[in-house]
Amino acid sequence: MNSSTPSYHETASPETVPTPAIRDFRFLKTDDLLSEFNHLAEWRLDLKARSADTSYFDATLTPMLKELEGRKRLREAYQDDPLCPVWPDTRDQRYQRLLADARDLKAIWPLERYLATVVGVDLRQSGRHATCRCPLGTHDDTTLSFVAYPDDHFHCYGCGKHGDIFTLTGVYFGIDSFADQVRKVEAITGTMVESARIIVANEEQVIRDIEAVLS
């Protein structure tokens, strides 16, 4: 890609974004699907409040909502069956904690920072977005087809995958569950914070050693 290539939002309307073909939600647990849906819906509302483009989220949320509505109708049809699963309680403290943690982690990790620091890609600025070779290992990418957008979502024009840091983590580490994706990012964050503390402590010790020699 180059700077003259139209951006995702200039070329892809909600009707043309290939979300349904890329992700098959049928095999995700309802709890995970509902958590991810509400996480993205919160993100969309935040962008809308700032008058930002929400076309990516409109396209992503539509098939997720369709799948959830289908499951809800199916559950209502079989609600008297003792084997019918209970619908997730979104008021549950564990559920709310997951969404809060996801919000906090996204604040810590803007997409470009996550790509550069955790995934280790070489980003190149191209206007308001950044490009790189796709780090997901699903195709041979020689044209910098992976694009990170200012609203912190990515789209790879080579393999078609798209999402945020949690989707990226899921594909990169082979994790399907949204909750597990959040916990993985949380674990990565904790490890990096601890490593930073060790580095700082070591540097401070070196300074003290030098001062002791010079005194």
Q: What is the DSSP string of 27-61?
A: GS-HHHHHHHHHHHHHHHHHHHHTT---HHHHHHH
The SS3 call for residue 114 is: helix
pLDDT digits (tens, 9 = 90+) for 83-125: 888 898 888 888 899 999 999 898 888 999 999 988 999 999 9
78, part of any domain = yes
CATH number at residue 76: 3.90.580.10
204, part of any domain = yes
- Of all helices (H) and strands (E), which one includes residue 189? helix 178-214
pLDDT digits (tens, 9 = 90+) for 140-190: 888 889 999 988 899 998 888 889 999 999 999 999 999 999 999 999 888
2, part of any domain = no
- Domain interval for residue 142: 8-214
Against a cut of 0.85, is the pTM above it? no
What is d(CA 108, CA 8) in angstroms, rounded to the nearest whole number? Answer: 24
In which band, very low, low, confident or very high, does the pLDDT at 19 lie, cut at 50, 70 and 90?
Answer: very low
In which band, very low, low, confident or very high, does the pLDDT at 7 lie, cut at 50, 70 and 90?
Answer: very low
3, part of any domain = no
pLDDT digits (tens, 9 = 90+) for 31-49: 999 999 999 999 899 888 9
CA contacts within 13 A on the Cβ side of 119: 27
Total of domains in the chain: 1
54, part of any domain = yes
At residue 36, the pLDDT reads 93
120, part of any domain = yes
What is d(CA 105, CA 169) in angstroms, rounded to the nearest whole number? Answer: 12
10 Å CB burial of residue 61 (0-12, 13-18, 19+) is buried
At residue 196, the pLDDT reads 57
CB 109, CB 189: distance < 8 Å: yes
At residue 61, the pLDDT reads 92
28, part of any domain = yes
At residue 215, the pLDDT reads 55
1, part of any domain = no
